[in-house]
Structure 1
Amino acid sequence: SVNSKNGTPVLLRDLGTVTFGPDIREGVAEWQGEGEAVGGIIVMRTGENALNVINGIKARVAEIAPSLPSGVEIHAGYDRSGLISESIRTLQRDLLAECVIVSFVTIIFLFHFRWALIPILTLPVALLAAFIPMYFLHIGQVNEKQRRRILIDAAKQVGPALFFSLLVIVVSFLPVFLLEAQEGRMFRPLAWTKTLSVAFSSLLAITVVPALMLFFIRGRLRPEAKNPVSRITQALYLPIIRFALRHRWLTIAVNVVFLAVTIPLALRLGSQFMPPLFEGSSLYMPTSLPGIGITQATQLLQEQDRIIRSFPEVDSVFGVVGRSDSSTDNAPLDMYDTTVMLKPREHWSPVPGLSNTWTMPVENRLDMQLTGIKTPIGMKIQGRTVEGIQAVGARIEQLLSRLPEVRAVFAERVSQGFYLNIDVNRLEAARYGMTVEDVQRAVESGIGGENIAEHVEGRERYPINVRYQRDFRDTPEDLGRVLVATPSGAQVPLNSVARISFSRGPAMIRDEGGQLTGYVFIDLKTNDYGSFVNRANQALAREMKLPTGFSFQWSGEYEFQLRAKERLKLILPVVFLAIFMLLYLVFRSVGEALVLIFPTFYAISGGLLLQWLLGYNFSVAVWVGYIALFGIAVETGVVMVVYLHEALDRRIRSGNQLTEDEIEQAAIEGAVQRLRPKLMTVTAVLASLVPILWETGIGSDVMKPIAAPVVGGMITSTIHVLILVPVFFVMMKQRALREGKLRQGEELNKTDVEPVCDIGS
């Protein structure tokens, strides 16, 4: 009942027709190209474990499946558990391989199983932290005192330097901690993991390792010369270091030439924000011409999904067009979104000479949420009018489509729809005692429809919508005859208080930063976004002049890339200065600190060379690899300088007159006699990282660009440490001797240790 008159109720059926009907459709979901479906999105609470949530959902769906009506099934249109599980399996496989390789390298170089157990057992830091065998420091007999003193003195010799070198590695990772936004969220966990493991390693190096040495290294200590690995490597290295010290300037010149040749490779490498991560699924997001209807959009969606489903590599297809029943989804009917779940790679049909490249769902969602651009790279045009923005976008689309790197470019067309304008004549409305709001309320409820209540059936609720029948609102003339109630109860036609007309205009207006905005989506054949942007800017500057009041800016992943680049440019010099200060605190010498900074430049050259050979662009992942490389390169140099000082100390303690030849011989002795631990460290790092370079599992796309600079840089920095560091050390000490700055006992304040026996590590 809506009213009553003379005791008789006026019902809805007396005023119009009551029927069931659909709500206004703004989107469609489709499954496998077979027909429409109902889709839903599950939102996980912040901080929850995604894999546990997905497994719980699957278990719950399996529970309710028997109770579903006949013919109703629930399928996962997109399932991220495969991506998570495969990434974890890839990481577990690589970690296991690295542990086995490091253990094997340690056993080979030490050539003694019990001795090799010391570094092998320190790998599981969590376990060893609970079982530190400090008790063994207090156990021994009289005939073990000399052995104990040798082991403790050896640990004291390298302990402080190793502790500071590990501290250098921690400091070198500071740039990763200071990364912002998406790149920070991606790599900060890696930095925390690396820092915590190095922190525990530093603690173990000065606590647990000496204890394990006393426990495992028993019996007669084997001289370095008895180790076959040492004999072979020393025989190969000795003539090289002698030649380098004899021809110092030639050695330096060759290394400078190598730097001059490899460093410019950086100019030939491309740049991108992150290497593309294969997620095991694909996302297809085409855009149709504006103004398409719901029927045509549904047909087009089913047709494209049916074609995609026909490929043997495809497992399932779930497509949507338009917006869902959510206030957070504002997609128009010309925007399509098809999620394609792929079969495992071993079931793909090989195409000789081609590699498969896909746009991935996680990457796309991040890009759209952070920038609004659905492609990895795009443009945002800002200006005074929507029409002007659309014209500029069309011109940019025309120019960029000519570039060879562009696969497709689409400038967003603002949907030019028809609008029905009802302009209220305020003076005429006032004559009837009505306001603009009164007229608009009549238009809204009678023409547009108004939900006045809800119909309840069990737990289901349906809105009750009241509006004029189509016959009364089908043409402008019919709309003009719609009656509007006045405060006095009289009814006047709408055309007597308002002017009705049609016009065209945008169905959606974008606004960013207080300015009208339009998007240009660009799909590239290359991942080198930096080089493409440079060439595109040149082409646009040469062939197009923007109207006054209009501008454009690059967006998408390129926006993240610029932000990370500017951040690293600010932080890296500060980190290098901090590393230099730490080295100065260890060696109390500006010259030696500079010598130990040089390996980072040779590490960069080797990393650039391998990066160029493998075809990796500069990205945040690659720079994280270089950051890890800097600390390792400095650590290797620190170990070398410690041994050079130790050999020179022995010469000073002998009491003989120190000469330039004595300094050179001491350098040869320190470099050659301690070659094995340096090579063991480098070989373990290289051997554990090289398998990552040919890894093909999910997640390896990000791991390989991190590992490549470390592998290439470790090779060149090790050569520099083994050859150039002794050369610079000898040159500095000989100069100090000539100037009278190197005197008896001067070196003792740096490494005040007298080894009784050479234990070879």
Structure 2
Amino acid sequence: MIEQLISFSLRNRYLVLMVAFGLFAWGAYSVRSSKVDAIPDLSENQVIVFTEWMGRSPQIMEDQVTYPLVTNMQGLPKVKSVRGASMFGMSFVFMIFEDDADIYWARERVLERLNYAQRLLPTGVTPTLGPDGTGVGHVLWYTLKAPGLDLGEQRALQDWYVKFGLQNVPGVSEVASFGGFQKEYQVTVDPTKMTYYGITLPQVLAAVRSNNNEAGGRKFEQTGIGYIIKTSGYIKDMATLENVPLLSKGSVPIRIKDIGTVQMTGESRLGIMDLNGEGEAVGGIVVMRYGENADAMIKRVKAKMEQIRTGLPKGVSFQLVYDRSGLIEDAVGSIKHTLIEEMITVSLVVLLFLFHWRSALSILLQIPITIATSFILLNAFGISSNIMSLTGIALAIGVIVDNGIVMTENAYRNLALHQAEEEAGGPPGAGSPPPAGTTGASGSTPTTTLTPAYHE
């Protein structure tokens, strides 16, 4: 098989050169389109189900949310394991799929099973899928530098303007906000006054919910003009919430302000985000979608930040806390520099020791062609150009050159022997006796063959 391949290549050398040039061109294109990252993604193929039920203890979350979800997620196709974690007000279920399972196919299977599992959960509790990102998907962290805004205003700016803008960037799975206060109206009731008026807590909740809503009516025409009827019932300030009626006592309405107080405050927090010991900060974490090009996605996010910056209040700007693009450029740049140095060093060594430019050229041409072909395979298997894959290519250059030297020296040796036999006269092999252990024509006398020694 190998002899036939060598013979075919020798008879069709121009075809071989065209194939080699085609592989090199294809590999050069693969280098430009290859996914670039600093570190390889070795995280497991997982789907996360997140459930929030604020105010409940970890034991309640474990018994009423985590356990029903974990038991019903068992048996999904291609699932290796199902893990659950419960904490105050939150539940996490991690489903680890086999490596060959497509991540979006796995998410569809989980959604199908959640449709049944949700009926086993308490009323009002809705599990949701986590982002379609990996364990190394946190590629960019940023904070808002806003000297004139308090933490509540910064968080509102992040949640209602910056976050929505960055989520539209291709390749972004999620923008997770952190820090600051999420503004909310807080009603603090007095149990004594509630007992005096005979009002229960469910009545207060129902009154607030029903008075914070809008409803539509029908359309009517008058003098050729159409009018649409609707009610305006959204709570827009604390005064409106304070005057929400609960019930009437002798035609006198009992309002929320009669049984408690209303204030604008922030949602209860379990922790704070401190930046370099300088105080609290508000920002977000950009999570990369599964299988995306980290370097290209970060560049798109930064370009989008420049567009968003024009709509921010005066004096507000972005401050990058963690940017993987710097690590990517340093890691990949270091490996590229090493590759170039190694190729130059190998070329000089081959030229110096072989001292035959045609033989050296045939060996050195294998280096760029082999490296370019390796990028074709990297893209085919979905492997990014990271510090580990590029280091493997750098280490393989020695093997490539060794193979070329051995083949070239062997070819040169055989050509030299062939030429010596032709100069000695007769057809190739006629001047050499049969191999050791064989017999002559009569089959009676064994002969011995002496072959010239070969020294590299």
Interval containing the TM-score (normalised by the shorter chain): 0.5 to 0.7
Partner SS, residue 410 of structure 1: strand
Which residue, 73, 76, 95 being the options, matches 1:311?
A: 73
1:603 deviates by: 1.0
The partner residue of 1:321 within 71, 87, 98 is: 87
1:508 aligns with 2:272: yes
In 2: Cα distance, 1:242 partner to 1:648 partner: 17
1:237 corresponds to which residue? 6
Q: CA 1:587–1:266 in 2, change beyond 3 Å: closer, same or farther?
A: same
8 Å Cα contact 1:411/1:519 also seen in 2: yes
Secondary structure, in 3 states, of the residue corresponding to 2:42? coil
CA distance in structure 2 between the aligned counterparts of 1:510 and 1:551, rounded to whole angstroms: 16
Are the equivalent residues in 2 in contact too, given 1:275–1:621 (CA < 8 A)?
yes
Residue in 2 that maps onto 1:255:
20
Instruction: Indicate whether 1:264 and 2:29 are aligned.
Output: yes
Q: Which residue identity does 1:541 align to in structure 2? A: E
Cα distance, 1:621 vs. partner? 3.8
1:618 to 366, 385, 407: 385
For 2:156 and 2:2, locate their aligned partners in 1 and report how far apart those are by CA, in whole Å: 70
The 1:582/1:591 distance shift into structure 2, 3 A limit, reads same
Specify which structure has the higher proportion of helix.
Answer: 1
Q: Does 1:566 align with 2:333?
A: yes
Is 2:302 the partner of 1:537? yes
The corresponding residue for 1:582 is 349
CA distance in 1, matches of 2:49, 2:105: 23
Letter of the structure 1 residue corresponding to residue 138 of structure 2: P
Once the two structures are superposed, residues 627-671 of structure 1 have per-residue CA deviations (whole angstroms, 9 ceiling, x without a partner) of: 3432322222111221233235446766959xxxxxxx9xxxxxx
Post-superposition Cα deviations, 1:673-724, rounded to whole Å, max 9, x if no partner, equal: xxxxxxxxxxxxxxxxxxxxxxxxxxxxxxxxxxxxxxxxxxxxxxxxxxxx
User: Could you tell me which residue of structure 2 aligns to residue 402 of structure 1?
Assistant: 168
Q: CA deviation at 1:524?
A: 1.8
TM-score using structure 2 length: 0.53
TM-score by length of 1: 0.34
Give runs of aligned pairs for residues 190-589 of structure 1, distance below 5 A: 232-244=1-13, 252=17, 255-277=20-42, 279=44, 284=48, 294-295=55-56, 304-305=65-66, 306-313=68-75, 317-321=83-87, 338=92, 340=94, 354-355=105-106, 364=135, 375-381=137-143, 383-385=145-147, 387=151, 390=155, 393-394=158-159, 395-403=161-169, 405-415=171-181, 508-512=272-276, 516=281, 518-522=283-287, 524-545=289-310, 548=315, 550-553=317-320, 555=322, 560-588=327-355
Q: Quick check: 1:411–1:521 contact (8 Å CA) kept in 2?
A: no
**Alpha-carbon distance between aligned partners in 2 of 1:652 and 1:518, rounded to the nearest angstrom:** 77
Residues 549 and 309 (structure 1), Cα distance of their counterparts in 2 relative to 1, 3 Å cut:
same
User: What is the rounded CA distance, in whole Å, between the counterparts of 1:529 and 1:646 in structure 2?
Assistant: 50
1:170-225 deviation per Cα after TM superposition (whole angstroms, max 9, x unaligned): xxxxxxxxxxxxxxxxxxxxxxxxxxxxxxxxxxxxxxxxxxxxxxxxxxxxxxxx
| Structure 2 letter corresponding to 1:566 | G
Where 2:143 maps in the other structure, the secondary structure is: strand
1:544 Cα deviation (Å)? 3.8
Could you tell me how far apart the structure 1 residues matched to 2:277 and 2:357 are?
50
Code of the aligned partner of 1:512:
N
Q: Who is 1:638 aligned against? A: 405
Task: Indicate yes or no: 2:424 matched with 1:756.
Answer: no
Looking at structure 2, the residues matched to 758 and 294 of structure 1 have their Cα atoms a distance apart, in angstroms, of 87
Aligned partners of 2:307, 2:372: CA distance in 1, in Å? 36
Q: Is the 8 A contact 1:382 1:552 kept in 2?
A: yes
Deviation at 1:567, TM superposition (A): 2.5
| Count of matched residue pairs | 316
Unaligned runs of 5+ in 1: 1-231, 323-332, 368-374, 419-501, 658-664, 666-754
- Partner SS state of residue 565, structure 1: helix
Q: Does 1:596 align with 2:291?
A: no
For 1:510, the aligned partner's letter is: D
Q: What secondary structure, in the 3-state scheme, does the structure 1 residue paired with 2:35 have?
A: coil
**Cα distance in 2, alignment partners of residues 540 and 321 from structure 1:** 34
Q: Give CA-to-partner distance per residue, 1:244-298, whole Å, 9 cap, x none.
A: 2xx5xx7545533442233112223323344543548x5859697xxx9654787
1:511–1:517 Cα contact (<8 Å) kept: no
| Distance in 1, Cα, partners of 2:296 & 2:41 | 17
Residues 337/383 of structure 1: CA separation in 2 closer, same or farther (3 Å cut): farther
Cα RMSD for the two superposed structures:
4.9
Distance 1:283-1:236 versus aligned 2 partners, 3 A rule: closer
